[in-house]
Structure 1
Amino acid sequence: MSEVLVVGELNVDLILSQLNAFPAPGKEVLAQDMDVVLGSSSAICAAGLAKLGAQVGFVGRVGNDAYGRFVLRALERLGVDTTTVRVDPDVRTGATVSLVYRGDRALVTYLGSIATLRAEDVPVDCMSNYRHLHVSSYYLQKNLQEGLPLLYRQARALGLTTSLDVGYDPEESWQRDRVLALLHHVNFFLPNEGEACALADTGDVEEAAAFLARHVQDWVIVKRGAEGALAHARDGRRVHVPAFPVTVVDTTGAGDSFNAGFIYAYALQRMPIEDALRFAAVCGALSTTGIGGTAAQPSLEQVWEFLRQH
């Protein structure tokens, strides 16, 4: 049996780093480095799981173009099964330009194929081969949204655990009612602090976690960057783990690598929640020590070695 099925968006990231300033309207700035790498929250999470040794399949869409071929080759090299990725000749593969400045970043995304994936693209008979279903980037995938409740119900009926990372809403509407209803089908909800507070309509992260936990099946895990991670269970339990200090090069995909670590540790390996959060925090931290979302993702051995030293 395979282990994790990831359903989501696929795109390339064009990363411009070591900027001499952050660009203002009408101004031009210089970047000292440029990389073209595998992007997208879903793909980075899938890659992180594969690096840890999990068997991972992916459902998504790309265009019949150079970027689409780049994405597929990158996933396959990383050990992700792309059998159920559809190549659509009628769309162009999505792309994100990432401007990295002083340890943070700004993103500009062309959706392209990202917005064309539908729940019907996920073969139900395929799901029965997996133990866990993960979906990322809810707000970017307009055509996937309507079918997600049924997809999650089908997965749970087949015995899969489920997780969701909604990502940032570029429109900042947040669709609170729809997302809160969707969370009833989700075992593990994995927002960052800003997303959690926006969905809970509060500026207090503890309040946000407690509110969202009332809607999920099991746990809300709020990623807080340098402040670590906060987990709140539906039954009221709370756990906090600090972040691990590393030399940050690029934060692209850190939350997605955290997601991969948590899914591996908690959903697949059944570690105690605090151990799983520490494991996930290491995955997120180490991923920031290289350019792009996947270059510095750790292997299982690297995570254990880091934990032994810390």
Structure 2
Amino acid sequence: MKVLGLGTAAMDIVLQCESLPREDGFAFVHYESLFPGGSCANVLVALARMGVDTSLVAKIGDDKYGEAFREDIVRSGVCARYLFTRPGGITLHTFVTLAPNGARAIFCHLGDSLLDLAEDEVVPEMLQGVKVFYTDMFPGRPALKLARLSRELGVRVFFNLECAPSFMQLCRVTMAEIEEMISLCDLLCMSREGLFELTGVEDPQVAGQTLYQRYRPTEGIVSTCGTQGAIWWLGDKTSIFAPAFNIQAIDTTGAGDAFIAGLIYAYFCQEMGRQRALEFANACGAIKCTQLGARFKASLEEVNSFLTRNNQ
């Protein structure tokens, strides 16, 4: 199966601290490391590790971060044919402050390349042989173009609304565009923050049902709830829940991306049942929390071994 992803491509500067600084405070940095990241790229790299044919559509700068990102994405087995470069551009990069307990704070330098990807740079041939189109809508209009084409061609659309709509609008993605993407997608995944902002309801269970009734995506809505687990809403009063695994987290960066990769692999590639797919996705997210950096670094055998050890 082939998966095409359009979305974030970034490099992460991880600062390992004794603790996160308080307001007007400071903290000592014990280690500073550079890791490849970007939510969409993280998902595709994880899928590539699982043996899935993946391609990334994104734009980076020709700076040191862009060069490092391109080298890593190719080394990771993701097709970079549609990874465009903006001459003189600045690649999206983040500064992640990380405490020993896994708590983090992220500062994002958006750069000028990621959102520079234009509609006319995405073309139908990108979807040739593709079974699943995955996007986080960074940027919005090219993602919508590929989503519309996907619907015409029978390609499944997975939309990850990883950021709240208010943040998306700061990145030039309008609420109308978000709602169109939701209407085009087969499966919608989002955070509790996004659920609350779209519904005004704090209870995730009620918020999920409310959102499902409003949009009714074909394959439902999935929400990750951190240490509580994940929920999959399938109908007006139908949902599936999978609890989170009890692990010692060292870095939660990219856990949601590993979860999504696990869900795409289990549900769309392996056609597992929804309950089993959620459990597999939770395992991928949990394993990632035990690894430093945003990228998932486990094999399928390690995921299955983790599930066996945890009696699932």
- Secondary structure of 1:80 counterpart: coil
- Secondary structure of 2:277 counterpart: helix
Whether the 8 Å contact between 2:19 and 2:98 is mirrored in structure 1 is no
Deviations 1:116-139 (A, max 9, x none): 223433221120221100002x3x
Amino acid in the other structure paired with 1:162: V
| Residue 231 (structure 1) aligns with | 232
| Aligned counterpart in structure 1 of residue 149 of structure 2, from 154, 164, 173 | 154
| Stretch deviating more after TM superposition (19-28 or 214-223) | 19-28
| Residue 56 (structure 1) aligns with | 54
Aligned length: 302
| Residue 291 (structure 2) aligns with | 290
Question: What is the rounded CA distance, in whole Å, between the counterparts of 1:169 and 1:254 in structure 2?
Answer: 17
Amino acid in the other structure paired with 1:161: R
| Residue 93 (structure 1) aligns with | 91
What aligned pairs does 1:245-284 form with structure 2 within 5 A after superposition? 245-284=246-285
What aligned pairs does 1:84-163 form with structure 2 within 5 A after superposition? 84-101=82-99, 102-112=101-111, 113-136=113-136, 138=137, 141=138, 144-163=139-158
Question: What is the rounded CA distance, in whole Å, between the counterparts of 1:177 and 1:69 in structure 2?
Answer: 35
- Residues 1:39 and 2:37 are matched in the alignment: yes
| Residue 64 (structure 2) aligns with | 66
Deviations 1:215-256 (A, max 9, x none): 122211100110000000146431000001122110000000
Q: CA offset at residue 209 of structure 1?
A: 1.0
- Secondary structure of 2:15 counterpart: strand
| Aligned counterpart in structure 1 of residue 160 of structure 2, from 149, 155, 165 | 165
Question: What is the rounded CA distance, in whole Å, between the counterparts of 2:268 and 2:256 in structure 1?
Answer: 17
CA spacing shift, 1:21–1:305, aligned 2, 3 Å: closer
| Structure 1 unaligned regions, length at least 5 | none
Question: What is the rounded CA distance, in whole Å, between the counterparts of 2:15 and 2:165 in structure 1?
Answer: 21
Question: What is the rounded CA distance, in whole Å, between the counterparts of 1:4 and 1:80 in structure 2?
Answer: 10
CA spacing shift, 1:26–1:235, aligned 2, 3 Å: closer
- Secondary structure of 1:5 counterpart: strand
Amino acid in the other structure paired with 2:186: N
Whether the 8 Å contact between 1:217 and 1:234 is mirrored in structure 2 is no
Whether the 8 Å contact between 2:48 and 2:76 is mirrored in structure 1 is yes
TM-score, scaled relative to structure 2: 0.91
What aligned pairs does 1:208-247 form with structure 2 within 5 A after superposition? 208-214=207-213, 215=215, 216-234=217-235, 236-247=237-248
Deviations 1:14-68 (A, max 9, x none): 0111x23322454432121221001111111111111111110111011112111
Amino acid in the other structure paired with 2:55: G
TM-score, scaled relative to structure 1: 0.91
| Residue 303 (structure 1) aligns with | 303
Q: CA offset at residue 211 of structure 1?
A: 2.1
Amino acid in the other structure paired with 1:243: A
| Aligned counterpart in structure 1 of residue 28 of structure 2, from 30, 51, 57 | 30
Question: What is the rounded CA distance, in whole Å, between the counterparts of 1:127 and 1:234 in structure 2?
Answer: 30
Structure 1 stretches of 4+ moved >6 Å: none
| Residue 205 (structure 1) aligns with | 204
| Aligned counterpart in structure 2 of residue 75 of structure 1, from 73, 76, 83 | 73
Q: CA offset at residue 281 of structure 1?
A: 0.4
Percent identity reads: 26
What aligned pairs does 1:158-197 form with structure 2 within 5 A after superposition? 158-169=153-164, 171-172=166-167, 176-197=175-196
Amino acid in the other structure paired with 2:289: T
Q: CA offset at residue 173 of structure 1?
A: 7.3
CA RMSD of aligned residues (A): 1.9
- Secondary structure of 2:129 counterpart: coil
Amino acid in the other structure paired with 2:45: A
| Structure 2 unaligned regions, length at least 5 | none
Question: What is the rounded CA distance, in whole Å, between the counterparts of 1:21 and 1:262 in structure 2?
Answer: 32
Whether the 8 Å contact between 2:161 and 2:191 is mirrored in structure 1 is no
Q: CA offset at residue 114 of structure 1?
A: 2.1
- Secondary structure of 1:190 counterpart: strand
